[in-house]
Structure 1
Amino acid sequence: MHSGRESMQHWTVDVIDSQGAIKKFKVKKRDVLNLSDGERIVVDFDDLDSPIGEGQGVLAGFCGILAKDSSIFPIHFKKWSDLPAAYFNRCFDQFIQSRFCFRTTESNARRYVYNSMCKKWGARRLKLYDKVYDQFKSKTEIMDKVPAEIPRDQWISYVEYRFKEKTMEMCKKNAEHRKKQTISHIGGSKPNSRRRAEMMAKTGQKPGRGELYLATHRNEDGSYVNEAAKEICEKIELAMNQSTTNESEVSAYDAVGKVLGKEHSGRVRCLGLGAVPSKTFKQTRPRYSNLNASSYNNGSCSSQCQEKYNQMLKAQNQNLDNYNVMMNAHAQMMNAFKAYIIMKEGTIPEQLAEIFVSMSPSTRVLENDAASGSMDVRSSGDSNAIDNQ
C-alpha cells in the first residue's frame, strides 16, 4: 500500500539493481542521472494503469527535466505532436527505460511519460514567452530577447509562430475559456492517481471519483473552496447517497458522471494525466437487475460476472435445443398429415395447398428426407436458419 510522501525534501523510493535486489533510496529528481549502472527506480501502477507512489513523483520531475531540454525537444514546433516520433522514442530508450523499472506494460509506461513530457514541454514554452512578452514591443524586439538556454534559431521560429494571426486568435479564445473556469481546487501538483492510492492505504477502501472530487474541493476544515464548488460538491454527495451501485468503481454513470455530464474525449475528470474515456470506460456498462457488470480488473471479468454470463449462455443453448426439437416434431407431424390427405383424397385439396406451400425450409427439407427414408439429416442451410431464429 502507498501512504503519503515521507519527506518534502526528497523522494523515498525502491531501487532495484541488476541482480533483482531492492533497497530504499532517498533521491531528488536530478539524482536520477547519478544512479549506478543497473540501478532503476521502481514505479508502481494502479488498476487504472496510472503511476502511483513516490516513484511517480520522481518520474514526473525527471520528465520535466528532459522535456525542458531544447537539445532533446526543440521548442519551435507548433505543437508537441508535430515533433518527430524519433525524438521521444530516443529519449525514452536512452534516459527513461534505463533508469526506471515500471511495474506495468511498456505501452502504459510510454503513454504516461509521453503525456507528462507533452504537458511540461508546452508549459515551459508558455513560461518563456510570458516572461519576455510586452504588448508595446515589436516582434523583432521580442525575438532579440533570446532566453539563455534556448538556441536563437529555435526562439526566432517560436516567436514567429506566436505572432501569426491564427495563433493569436487561438490564444485569445483560450484566455476567454480560462476566465469561465470558476471552480478552483486544492489538489496542488499531486496527481489524483497518487491521492487515490494514499486514500486507499488510509481507509482500506478504494475511493471513487466522487470522493476524489470532494477531497480536492474542500479545505481541511471542511469548508468548500468557493460557492461554485460547494454547489457541485453537494450535488455529488446527494448522488452518491442515492446511488444503488458501487461508487468506488470508476464509471461514466457514477456520481461525477451524473452531475458533471459526459467527458470530453481527451480526459476523465478526477483521474489525472493520461486517462481517456475510450480506455477508462471501455468495460463499463449500465447495471441492470442483479447482474453486476462493473467488476472488471485489467480487462478480465470477475468470477461472479463470468458465472452469470455462463448461466445465461447455458440457458440460451438450452432454448435453442428445445426449439430444434419442436421444429423436428412439427415437420414430422406435417409430413404425416400430408401423407394422410393424399391417401384419402388422392391429391392435396386446393384449400389446403397453401398450408404445405408455406411450410418452413426446415419442414420442406424434412419432407424430402421422409420421402427418401432419412428423417435424421438436415442440411447446413437449415441449421443456420434455425440458429438465426
Structure 2
Amino acid sequence: MRAIDIFTLPPGEKVIVDWNCRNQPIDMSVGLLAQFLVHIATNCTNFPIGYDKWQTVPAYYKDHVWDNIIKTKLEVNDDGHKDYILKSLAKKWRDHRCNLYKSLKCDPDAPRKTNIGRIPPEVPLEQWIAFVDYRARPDTKAKAAQNTTNRSHLTIPHMLGSKSFARLENEMESQLGRPVTRAELFQVGHTTSDGSFVNDEARQNHEDLVVRSQSSSKNEAHIGVFGKEHPGYVRGLALGVVPTQVYGSSSSSSSRCYSPRGTQAEVDALRQPVHQLLQ
C-alpha cells in the first residue's frame, strides 16, 4: 500500500499501525505512516502556513484533521498515539515551510514584492504574504541564524537513513530476544556495515558510555556524555519520547522498554544482520 492509497480506503476500513510501549510506530508501519502524515501536513488547507509557529495554529485545524482524517483512516487512540501524530505533523509542517522557502529561492533581505511574487500555485495569496512577512521579521531572521549554528554542532551522523531509532530498537529486540539499551542503540546506529564508527567522536562517545555505565545508571551515563536532555525530547530514542518517560522514576514506563546492558558479543553478533536490514 502507498500512503496516497490510505485516502481512498472504503468507509469503515482502516490501516492498523504497530506501536511500541512508548507509543512510537514500528515495523513497516513507520514509513507508511510518515508519508501519509507528510501529505496531510503539507496541505495548506489542513494547516495554513501563514501562522508564526505550530503553537499558534488554531486548535480547530488540528482537531479537524484528527477527527476527520486521522481517525477515519487509521486505527489509533486519543492518548499516546494522538500525541505522537500531532508532534510528527508539527515537525513536518515546520520542515515543509522551510523547504518551500528555500526551494523557491526566497531571501528575507530581498524586496517584499520579490518574495511575494514567488508564490507557489498551491498556496493561497493571503497565507503566502503572511509567511513572507514572518520570514522577514528581525526576530525570525535571528532565530534562523541560531538554528543554522545549532545544526553545525551536529557532528555525529547516524547510519539509519530514513529508519527511526524506534524501528531499529524493535528489530534489535526481536533478534536478541530482550530489551536493548540506549548505548547499544547508539553503537549500532552510528557504525557502518564493517563495524567501524562513523567518526572518532562517535567512537569516543560510545567508549565513554560504556565506562560510565559501569559505575552509574544508563540514564546518568547518557547525561554525563551528552549533557542534559532538551525539553520534550530524549536523545537516541526518536520522536515521541519525553524525558519524564525515561527519567521520571524507576517504575516509569521506561522500565518496560529497557533492561541492563547486554554483552558486547551480543551486540557485535547483531550489528551485521541489522545493517543488512538497513540496506
- TM-score class, shorter-chain normalisation, is 0.7 to 0.9
In the alignment, does 2:122 pair up with 1:149?
yes
**Aligned equivalent of 1:283:** 249
Fraction of identical pairs, as percent: 32
Counterpart secondary structure, 2:210:
helix
Question: Relative contact order (alpha carbons < 8 A, sep ≥ 6): 1 or 2 greater?
Answer: 2
2:170 to 197, 204, 207: 197
**Residues 73-82 or 28-37, more deviating:** 28-37
C-alpha distance in 1 between matches for 2:254 and 2:133: 52
In the alignment, does 2:63 pair up with 1:79?
no
CA contact (8 A) 1:32 1:99 kept: yes
CA contact (8 A) 1:213 1:270 kept: yes
**Aligned equivalent of 1:33:** 7
C-alpha distance in 1 between matches for 2:254 and 2:37: 34
Distance verdict in 2 for CA 1:295–1:79, change over 3 Å: closer
Matches within 5 A, 1:1-389: 27-102=1-76, 105-133=77-105, 135=107, 137-240=110-213, 242=214, 252-253=219-220, 255-284=221-250, 296-297=255-256
Deviations 1:217-248 (CA, angstroms, capped at 9, x unpaired): 111111111222222122123334x2576x6x
Counterpart secondary structure, 1:51:
coil
* CA RMSD, 1 decimal: 2.2
Q: Report the alpha carbon displacement of residue 276 of structure 1 after superposing the two structures with TM.
A: 0.9
User: Which letter does structure 1 place at the counterpart of 2:98?
Assistant: L
CA contact (8 A) 2:104 2:118 kept: yes
Q: Report the alpha carbon displacement of residue 180 of structure 1 after superposing the two structures with TM.
A: 2.1
C-alpha distance in 1 between matches for 2:73 and 2:5: 11
User: Which letter does structure 1 place at the counterpart of 2:102?
Assistant: D
Deviations 1:266-309 (CA, angstroms, capped at 9, x unpaired): 20011111211123322337xxxxxxx998449xxxxxxxxxxx
C-alpha distance in 1 between matches for 2:36 and 2:234: 25
C-alpha distance in 2 between matches for 1:151 and 1:50: 34
Q: Report the alpha carbon displacement of residue 176 of structure 1 after superposing the two structures with TM.
A: 1.5
User: Which letter does structure 2 place at the counterpart of 1:145?
Assistant: R
C-alpha distance in 2 between matches for 1:62 and 1:265: 27
CA contact (8 A) 1:41 1:55 kept: no
What TM-score does the superposition give when structure 2 sets the normalisation length? 0.85
User: Which letter does structure 2 place at the counterpart of 1:45?
Assistant: W
C-alpha distance in 1 between matches for 2:131 and 2:90: 16
C-alpha distance in 1 between matches for 2:166 and 2:106: 39
Counterpart secondary structure, 2:7:
helix
Q: Report the alpha carbon displacement of residue 94 of structure 1 after superposing the two structures with TM.
A: 0.7
CA contact (8 A) 2:23 2:240 kept: no
CA contact (8 A) 2:245 2:254 kept: no
Q: Report the alpha carbon displacement of residue 206 of structure 1 after superposing the two structures with TM.
A: 1.2
CA contact (8 A) 1:200 1:206 kept: yes
Unaligned 5+ segments in structure 1 are 1-26, 286-292, 299-389
C-alpha distance in 2 between matches for 1:39 and 1:142: 43
Larger Rg: 1
User: Which letter does structure 2 place at the counterpart of 1:165?
Assistant: P
Deviations 1:13-36 (CA, angstroms, capped at 9, x unpaired): xxxxxxxxxxxxxx1111111212
Counterpart secondary structure, 2:92:
helix
Counterpart secondary structure, 1:52:
coil
Distance verdict in 2 for CA 1:296–1:36, change over 3 Å: same
Deviations 1:138-179 (CA, angstroms, capped at 9, x unpaired): 221111010121111111110111001111111111111222
C-alpha distance in 2 between matches for 1:50 and 1:294: 13
What TM-score does the superposition give when structure 1 sets the normalisation length? 0.62
**Residues 77-86 or 46-55, more deviating:** 46-55
C-alpha distance in 2 between matches for 1:88 and 1:227: 43
Q: Kindly indicate which of the two structures has a greater share of residues assigned to strand.
A: 1
Deviations 1:53-73 (CA, angstroms, capped at 9, x unpaired): 222321221111100000110
Counterpart secondary structure, 2:34:
helix
**Aligned equivalent of 1:309:** none
Q: Report the alpha carbon displacement of residue 106 of structure 1 after superposing the two structures with TM.
A: 2.0
Unaligned 5+ segments in structure 2 are 258-279
Counterpart secondary structure, 1:97:
helix
